[in-house]
Amino acid sequence: MSATTELVDSTNARLSRRRRLSPWTLLVTASFALLLTGALLLGIWWLASSRTRSAAYYTGPAARTGIEVNVQSGDVTIVGGSQVGVFVNRTDHSVFGHGPREQVVVRAGILHLVSTCPSLVVGSCVSSYRLNVPDDVPISVRADQGNISLDGYHGSADLATDHGAISVEGYCGFVLGAASASGNVTVNTACSPERLILRSDSGTINATVPTGDYQINASSSSGSAHVYGLVNDIGAPWDIQALSNSGNVTVTSGA
């Protein structure tokens, strides 16, 4: 047998061995194909089952003592100035037939609004709210995962979110508390509030208030803190606390 023939036979033998896949390789390949097919089918099912639904209702003038809103997943917008009671607009997003669950109760003059979501392996449910509320009715808003906005409200409010930003515009009132674990806090007031308590763990804080004398405590553990156009006076009637762990803090005067 010639050297050329031996080389050809050796090459053909190696190619033949490569073509014969082992049972383990076949099993891994088949499993990967099944997983890929399952993921594709799950994605198609998720898209087909995704639903968005909106609802609006009026709770009446019964909420005279306070308003408490707790939303597990979704944004919350509060607009002040309602003359006749609380109007609620809700937008729900659900998948696999599992949507948010809502409870609305008025007890002792306090409106309790609670929205929760079931535990889902894939996807999530979201319930976002917009409330038109009367002024001078104390408000408490908790959003586990969502942004909070407060617009044109006069009174006292306590806002908190774990994963989201807080934005306040045109506020005028007594005490405003705003705390975000991982989002920015931005506050613009239309009058000098008696007390501002602003907190953020990893986000920035920006507060704009009318020109005047304030007791100001603005600081950040690992960021910068600045006060512009305001007089820091320990005897001033208005108090501002703006504290962040790792974000920048700015307190400044408006027009």
Dump pLDDT digits (tens) for 89-147.
999 886 656 678 899 999 989 999 999 887 654 456 889 999 999 999 999 999 999 99
Instruction: Decide if pLDDT at 227 tops 80.
Output: yes
Residue bearing the bigger pLDDT, 136 or 42: 136
Instruction: Decide if pLDDT at 25 tops 90.
Output: no
Instruction: Decide if pLDDT at 161 tops 90.
Output: yes
pLDDT value of residue 98: 63
pLDDT value of residue 23: 65
Q: Across 80-165, where does the E strand assignment appear?
A: 86-94, 101-107, 110-116, 126-132, 139-145, 148-151, 154-163
pTM confidence score: 0.79
Query: Average pLDDT of 51-75?
Result: 89
> Cα dist. 218→27, 136, 181, 213 in Å?
62, 27, 17, 14
> Cα dist. 210→155, 167, 178, 191 in Å?
17, 17, 18, 6
For residue 37, what are its two tokens? 């097919």
Q: How far apart are CA 4 and CA 246, in angstroms?
A: 73
Of the chain, the percentage scoring pLDDT greater than 70 comes to 76
Domain spanning 55-253: which CATH class is it, in words? Answer: mainly beta
CA angle 46, 47, 49 (to 5 degrees): 65
Q: What is the mean pLDDT of the chain?
A: 84
Identify whether the C-beta of residue 152 lies closer than 8 Å to the C-beta of residue 172.
no
Q: How far apart are CA 108 and CA 123, in angstroms?
A: 37
For residue 55, what are the β-bridge partners? 90
Residue bearing the bigger pLDDT, 203 or 31: 203
Residue bearing the bigger pLDDT, 52 or 3: 52
